[in-house]
């Protein structure tokens, strides 16, 4: 009981295979007579005909699939969100995405070459990991002549196929949010990572930029150096990430400091658990999906050699919870929940 082929449809409809192929594909142009078309449609319907994409790809030398080069844990929130965007855009443009299950360094390449992917999206890790040699990945993709785009890459690509999470914007926005809520003495807290990590530098910079715009002094502290004494003197904090905020929060609550009454905290990224911390944490969300979409569209437009209309990248958003006190006289009419800010 094999699946119906184009041949079966042709036979049943009493026409040639080429007629079937033409009619079933060209939805707009109607070279064939209405009568023939109808015969074909009903025959296909009757047989439960499904075009074989494998055969189509074989013929067109295209697989209509895009491979993901990925160094993230599969359940990482950033990865998932980015992937959601990639997949959505792929669906829209008629491409499917495939992910190599194998974890070791470059084995995905064979996997993808075997599968004849039409292109790839490389999602680089945020922190430059020793094991992840971005340049080498790029070199190999180029050598394999696979069109690709890079998300969050550290390398500048000539074709502009590089899309980055805007880390500076996250802290800029977090700071801006606190300012809007009437806070003035805002402290930035992050771990003592090395400065060589792009993300770390950008996050701090975003905070400083916004503070300087306002003519306010910047104060940056490492979370490792924090003491309860210090915390008691702080009232408004921006942290780089949720885990830093959690450390601050734990120390504050232990010291009897109330959040948000005595201390407001906002983190410049969102984690699965941000809203489940002792005090639900207000955070900044990066539009990962959009970045995924943009990268996907770029790759596909490279494959198809024509520009696809590009949507503008939306800004980061503040996901409001309960960790920030409103000091502004205007009051905070809105309830907690996600909303676009700025």
Partner DNA sequence: CTGTTAGCGCTTTCAC
Partner DNA sequence: GTGAAAGCGCTAACAG
Alpha-carbon torsion 196, 163, 134, 125, what sign? positive
Backbone dihedral angles phi then psi of residue 273, each to the nearest 5 degrees: -100, 5
Running DSSP on this structure, what letter comes out for residue 166?
A: -
**Residues 212, 213, 215, 220: is their CA dihedral positive or negative?**
negative
| Token pair of 261 as six digits | 């009454």
Size of the chain, expressed as the number of residues it contains: 342
Give whichever of 115 and 232 is closer to a second copy, judged by the CB atom: 115
Site string for DNA, 38-77 (x = CB under 7 A): -----------x-xx--xx-xxxx----------------
Binding site partner of 82, from DNA, a second copy, none, Cβ cut-off 5-8 A by kind: none
Judged by beta carbon distances under 5 to 8 A according to partner kind, the member of DNA, a second copy, none in contact with residue 88 is a second copy
Which residues ranging from 20 to 39 are in contact with DNA (CB under 7 A)?
21-22, 24-25, 31-33, 35-36
Strand 148-151's sheet: what is its strand order?
96-99, 65-70, 119-123, 148-151, 162-163
* Of the residues 12, 19, 121, 186, which one makes contact with DNA according to CB under 7 A: 19
Cα of 250 vs its chain's centroid, Å? 30
Is 136 near a second copy (CB under 8 A)? no
CB of 104 to a second copy, least distance (A): 11
- Please tell me the distance from the alpha carbon of residue 118 to that of residue 110, in angstroms, as a whole number: 14
CA torsion, ordered 340, 301, 89, 86, to nearest 10 deg: -80
3 is an interface residue for DNA by CB under 7 A: yes
Q: What is the DSSP string of 64-106?
A: -EEEEEE-S-TT-HHHHHHHHHHHHHHHHHT-EEEE----STT
* Nearest one of 54, 146, 162 to 100, comparing CA atoms: 146
Q: Pick from a second copy, DNA, none: which does 159 bind, CB < 5 to 8 A by kind? A: none
Which one, 61 or 329, has the nearer CB to a second copy? 61
Identified binder of a second copy from the candidate list 6, 10, 63, 141, rule CB under 8 A: 63
If contact means CB under 5 to 8 A according to the sort of partner, which of DNA, a second copy, none does residue 17 touch? DNA
Q: Which is nearer to a second copy, 36 or 242 (CB)?
A: 242
Question: Considering CB distances under 5 to 8 angstroms, the limit depending on partner class, which of DNA, a second copy, none binds residue 340?
Answer: none
The answer to whether 115 contacts a second copy (rule: CB under 8 A) is yes
Burial state string for 296-330 with b = 16 or more CB within 10 A and e = fewer than 16: bbbbbbbbbeeeeeeeeeeebbbbbbebbbebeee
- The CB-of-141 to DNA minimum distance in angstroms stands at 20
Q: Which residues make up the interface to a second copy (CB under 8 A)?
A: 1-3, 50-55, 57-58, 61, 63, 74-75, 77, 80-81, 83-84, 87-88, 90-91, 96-98, 101-102, 110, 113-116, 145, 246, 272-273, 276-278
Q: Which residues make up the interface to DNA (CB under 7 A)?
A: 2-3, 5-7, 14-19, 21-22, 24-25, 31-33, 35-36, 49, 51-52, 55-56, 58-61
């Amino acid at each position: 009981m094999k699946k119906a082929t184009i041949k079966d449809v042709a036979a049943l409809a009493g026409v040639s295979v080429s007629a079937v192929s033409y009619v079933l594909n060209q939805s707009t142009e109607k070279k064939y007579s209405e009568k023939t078309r109808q015969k074909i449609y009903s025959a296909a319907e009757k047989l439960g005909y499904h075009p074989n994409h494998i055969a189509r790809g074989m013929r067109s030398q295209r697989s209509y699939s895009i491979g993901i080069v990925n160094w993230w844990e599969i359940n990482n929130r950033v990865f998932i969100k980015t992937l959601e965007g990639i997949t959505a855009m792929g669906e829209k443009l008629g491409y499917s995405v495939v992910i190599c299950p194998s974890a070791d360094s470059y084995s995905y390449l064979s996997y993808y070459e075997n599968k004849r992917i039409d292109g790839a999206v490389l999602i680089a890790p945020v922190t430059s990991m020793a094991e992840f040699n971005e340049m080498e990945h790029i070199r190999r993709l180029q050598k394999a002549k696979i069109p690709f785009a890079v998300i969050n890459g550290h390398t500048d690509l000539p074709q502009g196929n590089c899309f980055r999470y805007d880390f500076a914007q996250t802290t800029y926005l977090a700071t801006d949010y606190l300012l809007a809520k009437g806070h003035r003495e805002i402290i930035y807290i992050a771990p003592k990572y090395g400065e060589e990590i792009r993300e770390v530098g950008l996050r701090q910079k975003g905070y400083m930029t916004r503070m300087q715009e306002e003519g306010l002094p910047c104060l940056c502290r490492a979370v490792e150096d924090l003491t309860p004494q210090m915390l008691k003197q702080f009232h408004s904090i921006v942290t780089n990430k949720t885990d830093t905020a959690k450390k601050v929060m734990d120390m504050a609550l232990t010291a009897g400091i109330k959040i948000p009454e005595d201390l407001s905290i906002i983190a410049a990224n969102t984690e699965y658990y941000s809203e489940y911390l002792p005090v639900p944490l207000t955070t900044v969300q990066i539009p990962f999906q959009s970045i995924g979409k943009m990268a996907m569209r770029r790759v596909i437009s490279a494959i198809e050699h024509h520009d696809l209309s590009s949507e503008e990248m939306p800004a980061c958003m503040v996901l409001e919870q309960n960790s920030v006190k409103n000091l502004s006289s205007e009051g905070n009419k809105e309830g907690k929940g996600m909303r676009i800010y700025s």
